[in-house]
């Protein structure tokens, strides 16, 4: 179970696996968190069944948040690891209600550059990721931790 008490938070939803609360430092009106009841420090340490349970609640909870806030869009965000901005090391996902032109993220003004599909570095990156996915898949199927730890 979660060690931190949510007594001072507004609980919006709760079931056997997870709960949803209003974020105590919101970036927008209605900013909420879906949190597993059991402690997992990061997304990659969270069992797939718990992630599935959390994600299955997103449509239900986000629709209620959007109706209550008058928003018609939302960001679904997970900061996984310190470099990604994770400051609470307990898996959680943010539902951040959005309105057109709210200018919430500075990155929305950044220009994106198209991926050059003919670039050898892009091809190498794709191959490397595919290889890691195959190793991960083998590890999950075989449960052979010695093999998997040597391939990471």
Catalytic residues, which ones? 92
Phi and psi, residue 50, nearest 5°: -75, -40
Residue pair 22/10 in contact by the 8 Å Cβ criterion: yes
CA distances from 9 to 81, 92, 120 (A): 24, 15, 50
Cβ burial 58-76 (10 Å sphere, 16+ → b, else e) = eeebbebbbeebebeebee
Instruction: Look at residues 10, 40, 14 and name the one whose alpha carbon lies nearest to residue 24.
Output: 10
d(CA 23, CA 96): 10
CA atoms within 13 A on the CB side of 78: 18
């Amino acid at each position: 179970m979660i060690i931190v008490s949510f007594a001072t938070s507004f609980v919006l939803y709760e079931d056997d696996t997870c709960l949803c609360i209003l974020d105590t430092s919101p970036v927008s009106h209605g900013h909420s968190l879906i949190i597993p009841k059991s402690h997992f420090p990061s997304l990659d340490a969270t069992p797939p069944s718990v992630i599935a349970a959390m994600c299955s609640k997103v449509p239900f909870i986000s629709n209620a948040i959007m109706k209550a806030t008058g928003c018609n869009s939302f960001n679904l965000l997970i900061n996984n690891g310190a470099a990604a901005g994770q400051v609470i090391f307990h898996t959680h996902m943010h539902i951040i209600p959005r309105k057109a032109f709210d200018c919430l993220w500075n990155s929305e003004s950044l220009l994106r550059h198209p991926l050059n599909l003919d670039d050898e570095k892009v091809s190498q990156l794709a191959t490397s990721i595919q290889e890691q996915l195959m190793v991960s898949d083998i590890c999950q199927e075989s449960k052979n931790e010695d093999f998997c730890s040597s391939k990471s």
